[in-house]
Amino acid sequence: MSGSGSIASVPDTATISFGVTTQGKTAAAAFTSNSADIAKVIAALKAAGVAPKDLQTQYLSLSPRTNDTGDQILGFTAFNSVNATIHDLSRAGSVIDAGVAAGADTVNGPSLSRSDSARSIARR
């Protein structure tokens, strides 16, 4: 026996990831600079109407930068990203603009979904 099905629905939620990459001579310098830069992005997203509960750190990394042969560390690169969930899709463009204007150098998304999708699956 086999079967198939499909469901069509209109999304009402967007998730967008905003990232910041910084470099520093030391790991501490790269990380400190990155923390300050992502804080500016988060503040801008809040000012654009994203609720604090709808912001979540997604990814954080710190890695050495080396010379061409890989035997000398030249400095460090830090990356940090935050996910913003937007419940009013008409605001997605202005939220993206706010994040980029505040210094986000990476934007991924939007990923569209339905806010009630988990409830719909549970009812089946």
For 22-57, write each residue's pLDDT tens digit. Answer: 999 999 999 999 999 999 999 999 999 999 999 999
pLDDT at 119: 57
Does this model's pTM top 0.75? Answer: yes
| CA 75 – CA 24 distance, rounded (Å) | 6
pLDDT at 98: 98
pLDDT at 25: 97
The 10s digit of each residue's pLDDT in 56-69 is: 999 999 999 999 99
46 within 8 A of 95, measured Cβ to Cβ: no
pLDDT at 116: 80
Is 114's pLDDT higher than 70? yes
| CA 106 – CA 108 distance, rounded (Å) | 7
Closest CA relative to residue 63, chosen from 79, 72, 76: 76
